[in-house]
Amino acid sequence: MANKLLWQTESSATLMSTELNDLPNNASAVDGADYDNATNQYRFADFELFLDDFDAAPDAGGYFELHLFYKLDGTNYCDGYDGDADADSKPGANTLEGVFVVTANDADQRIQLRGVPLSPYAFRACIRNKCGQDLTAVDTHTLKIFPYNEELQ
């Protein structure tokens, strides 16, 4: 008998919203609260970045980076700086989980990043703006997580 792969999905959660307001080009924003994957223990997640508007059209080839700062010891974030996971954090290659590529127009954009592996620790998300333009100061930019597990039967 063949095995069957079952998907266990969880409701989505908004990780970031107001943190993305007025995000300048070449700057980062860090989630103000933990996502507790130490308890949830999801293995994978899809992410959705919704960008309501830009100050002007992004550059061709512009993008946003998704970084995850894990609390491996349950206390300090691995944020490349002082472990506080705040505005001083230094996202780098070891925290990069994926890239949201934007189109070169200033209309609303909803972009997905699929199949990001998760570790069983609490973390904070970080978005780094590399699109050539600032985000507007509206409250409708969001980063959402859609966590899930696989079960082989």
Give the pLDDT of residue 1.
56
| Residue 133 within a domain | yes
Residues of the chain with pLDDT under 70: 1-2, 5, 153
| Residue 4 within a domain | no
CA nearest 121: which of 83, 78, 74?
74
Structure tokens at 116: 């990001």
| Domain span holding position 98 | 13-148
Domain count, the chain: 1
| Residue 3 within a domain | no
| Residue 124 within a domain | yes
The model carries a pTM of 0.92
| Residue 94 within a domain | yes
Per-residue pLDDT tens over the stretch 70-103: 999 999 999 989 999 988 899 999 999 999 999 9
| Residue 25 within a domain | yes
Looking at residue 52, which CATH number applies to its domain? 2.60.120
